[in-house]
Amino acid sequence: MFLGSLSDRIGRRKVLIPSLIFFSLASGVSGLAGGFMSLLLIRGVMGVAEGAFCPTSFAAVAEASKPSRIGFNQGLQQSMFALFGLGFGPFIAAWLLSFTTWRGVFLLVTVPGLILSALIWMCIRDRTPAATQSDSVSHRPSEPSASIGQVLKVRNVRIGMLGLLCAMCGIFTLAAFAPLYLTEHLHLDAWAAASAASAIGFGGFAGQWILPTLSDIYGRRPMAILGFLGGAIFVFAFINTGASILPLFGTLFGATVCSFGLLSLISGPIAAESAPPGMVSTAAGLIIGVGEVFGGGLALVVAGYLIATYGIQSMLYLALGGLAIGVLLMFFLKETAPRKLAITD
């Protein structure tokens, strides 16, 4: 929420490169942690670095994109999180564990981040403030950068913050508790549960790329409404699916396509196109920050309480409720897609 706005003032590279280096080194140091508290502090540093990198990288991609391809480009960028972090990540970690310890795995994954830091230093160039403001995603005329208070006055930013919170209810609840639901409530064995739960990673990859890409063509508002509605329908279907792997995989895949697609759509093109000139990273940071703190933090606390009180299956109704509320919120979203605005004009 705070470091995202810093890159709007000092440039993308000055935030991207240090944040990625700190993230990578903190990952490696995690393997040297001697106890819970030291590991917790190290992972906290990783969270700060990730929080600085994400909105800044989204803004950099938006500024490098044609207005008609922002959804496609930012969707492709963000889909890598689900594909490698939740899809291939566990398999990569398991393969690495075949010849090293978990501490060694943390040390090894430092290397790609340092390589990418060097590539960013070589490839990404900061645009001048005038270029960023006159040639930015919405081609608005050059004017002084807005303050954070002014960014919060933009209706789409406020709706995006609430909308991402609702989407995060679906994302984090399903990602954190679906495997437990499959094993504890439906009594699937480990292999069957893992097979069904893999839909989270691969569905997330598909959704984070497809939904923003379609929004380039059909508009941000219609696809946001469809995303929340589809997510709610698939979560409801998942709740009412028995212990059969294929239906579980299919409904969970559909739910995560929609939920992760909304994450990419709201924090990507909607944030970029709604932001005042020169404040793209600030807008994305505010939207992502609220979604992470409340959707990724508070929602899990609520889900834990519901599970302890009413059983593991009750957490699915939290995800369903969040997505259903999101449908209503998106009707108040202002359309920003350049192609749709051109047709309207």
- Structural domain of 104: 3-344
Q: How far is CA 103 from CA 8, 33, 321, in A?
A: 37, 9, 39
- The predicted pLDDT at position 94 comes to 76
The pLDDT tens digits for 59-77 are 888 888 888 888 888 888 8
**At 51, which CATH number?**
1.20.1250.20
- The predicted pLDDT at position 145 comes to 55
What contacts 193, CB < 8 A, 6 or more positions away?
179, 182, 183
Instruction: Of 85-99, 109-123, 286-300, give the range with the top mean pLDDT.
Output: 109-123
Residue predicted with more confidence, 192 or 343: 192
Picking from 95, 115, 113, the residue whose alpha carbon sits closest to that of residue 104 is 95
The pLDDT tens digits for 22-69 are 999 998 898 888 888 898 899 888 888 988 888 888 888 888 888 888
How many domains does one find in the chain?
A: 1
Give the DSSP letter of residue 333: P
47's enclosing H/E stretch is helix 36-64
- Tell me the Ramachandran region of residue 11: left when phi exceeds 0, alpha when psi lies from -120 to 50, beta otherwise: left
Residue predicted with more confidence, 121 or 9: 121
Residue 296 predicted with pLDDT over 80: no
